[in-house]
Amino acid sequence: MKAELQAIQAEALEAIKSVDTPDALESLRITYFGRKGKLTDVMKGMGKLSKEERPEIGKLANEVRAALTQAFEEATQTLHSQQQEQQLEAESVDITLPGRKPAYGKAHPVMQTLERIEAIFGQMGFEVVTGPDVETEYYNFDALNTPADHPARDLHDTFYLTDGHLLRTHNSPVQIRAMENQKPPVRIIVPGKCYRVDYDVSHTPMFHQVEGLLVDTRVTFSDLKGVLTVFARQMFGDQTQMRFRPHFFPFTEPSAEMDISCAVCQGKGCRSCGGSGWVEILGAGAVDPSVFEAVNYDPNEVTGFAFGMGVERIANLQFRIPDIRTFYENDLRFLRQF
């Protein structure tokens, strides 16, 4: 019996080696371990053994069973991995075939720029408010200290409506509306569309501005410089140089224009900055006392500053679109780029 067991073990181990499918392996296992299997048969014969033989043979039988069980398990494992490998190989794909990209759109480049500007001033506590595009002469000009015979009121610049209204030429009327509606402190920015009679490579008859206004009891011109410096650094980068030049706006005094160093030549002077090394980005100034008077604020009690910038201009410092009218053609090849 001992010899028989050893023969079964040898035979089985040999047979396992040549098996190459899980099915064949299973039937082989049954050949040994099945109800009528070879090993089962031998084990059944154990009862006929003498008391002396039984422990020795029993031990051997257990060893054979254990060895075969392990051999079958290993073979199962091996076959499984082989099969998985084959399957994985068969499933290999052409990684250069195009992906199934989910459709995604994009915000208009002007809106992307506008959102960045809003976010920067938002961090400094400026609230977004808006106002109407169709305005009256009072809000667009008179209340902003722009008397009736000021050059900015020429028919040439302003779109008038047949009903006597006009399309606002800047977002500054919202300053007036905001101050009429609330008491100081006021800390707002006003994004939106405005309109001027102009149509060439650097002008569109409709464009976007962000106007800002801060009014409080202790606001100084140096604060204006501070806020706009923070803005320019965040918008254009830490390396950006800036300067403030005196200028004229009817509704601010003192008035300024802000330049940043030309990003193309790093301030050395090139064609895109007209050789000066500087690029104008916005107009600003301390709120003129007459504007406060127009909204019944007391200029002895409060001071403030205002600023206004063209969004297309800011956007184009980055994008460098040669003809600014391209912004409003809505060519999908254009819109996709940003």
Partner 1 sequence: MNVTLNWLKNYIDFELAPNELADRLTMLGIEVESIKQLSAELEGVIVGSVTAIRPHPNADKLVLCQVDVGGTEALQIVCGAPNVREGMLAPVATIGATLPIGLTIKRAKLRGEESHGMLCSEKELGLSEDAAGLMELPADIPLGTSFSAALGLDDVVFELEITPNRPDCLSMIGVAREIRAETGNALKLPQVDLNEAEADIREMTSVTIEAPDLCPRYAARVIQGVKVGASPEWLQQRLESVGVGVINNIVDITNFVLMEYGQPLHAFDYHKLAENRIVVRRAAACENITTLDEIARELTPDMLVIADAEKPVALAGIMGGYDSEITETTADVLLESAYFNPSSVRATAKALGVSTEASYRFERGADPGIVPAALDRAAQLIAELAGGTICKGIVDVYPRQQPLRRIQLRPKRVNFILGTALEATEMVQILSHLDFDVKTNGAEDYEVIVPTFRSDITREIDLIEEIARVHGYDNIPTTLPKGDIPVPDPNPRTEVRKRIKHFLIAAGMMEAINYSFCDPSCFDKIRFTADDPRRETLKLKNPLSPEMSVLRTTLLPRLLENAQYNRNHQIDTIALFETGSVFISNGEQKEPERVAGILAGQIGEGVYSDPYRSPDFYDIKGLVEGILEVCGIVDYTLQKTDTPTFHPGRNAEILLGDRQIGTFGEAHPEVLENYDLPYKAYLFEFDMEVLVDAAIFAKRFEPIPIYPTVERDLAIVVDKEVLSDMPTQLIYATGGELVKSVRLFDVYEGEQVPEGKKSLAYAITYHSATETLTDKAVNTLHDKVVKHLNQKLGAELRM
Interface of this chain with partner 1, residues 245 to 274, rule: CB under 8 A: 245-248, 253-256, 274
The contact pattern for partner 1, residues 217-236, with x = CB under 8 A and - = no contact, is xxxxxxx-xxx-xx------
* DSSP-assigned letter for residue 203: B
Classify residue 196 as left (phi > 0), alpha (psi -120 to 50) or beta: beta
How many whole angstroms separate alpha carbon 310 and alpha carbon 139? 20
Q: Which is nearer to partner 1, 83 or 337 (CB)?
A: 337
Question: What's the closest the beta carbon of residue 40 comes to partner 1, in angstroms?
Answer: 43
Question: What's the closest the beta carbon of residue 335 comes to partner 1, in angstroms?
Answer: 5
Q: 99: buried, middle or exposed (CB in 10 Å: 19+, 13-18, 0-12)?
A: exposed
Question: What's the closest the beta carbon of residue 223 comes to partner 1, in angstroms?
Answer: 4
Give, for 118, the enclosing helix (H) or strand (E).
helix 109-123
Q: Please list every residue from 75 through 134 that binds partner 1, using CB under 8 A.
A: 97-108, 110-111, 125, 127-128, 132-134
**Phi and psi for 329 in degrees, rounded to 5?**
-85, -20
Q: Please list every residue from 142 through 171 that binds partner 1, using CB under 8 A.
A: 148-151, 154-155, 159-163, 165, 167
How many whole angstroms separate alpha carbon 306 and alpha carbon 48? 110
Position 329 contacts partner 1 (CB under 8 A) = yes
Q: Which is nearer to partner 1, 77 or 217 (CB)?
A: 217
Position 178 contacts partner 1 (CB under 8 A) = no
Position 322 contacts partner 1 (CB under 8 A) = no
Question: What's the closest the beta carbon of residue 148 comes to partner 1, in angstroms?
Answer: 8
Q: Please list every residue from 185 through 204 that binds partner 1, using CB under 8 A.
A: 185-187, 193, 195, 197, 199, 204
Q: Please list every residue from 29 through 48 that binds partner 1, using CB under 8 A.
A: none
Contact 306, 144 (CB under 8 A): no
Beta strands 186-195 and 127-128 are parallel
Location of structure tokens 């302003």: 158
By CB under 8 A, name the one of 140, 260, 288, 313 that touches partner 1.
Answer: 288
Question: What's the closest the beta carbon of residue 319 comes to partner 1, in angstroms?
Answer: 14
Location of structure tokens 């409709």: 206
How many whole angstroms separate alpha carbon 172 and alpha carbon 306? 9
Position 137 contacts partner 1 (CB under 8 A) = no
Q: What is the dihedral of CA 62, 64, 69, 71, to 10 degrees?
A: 150
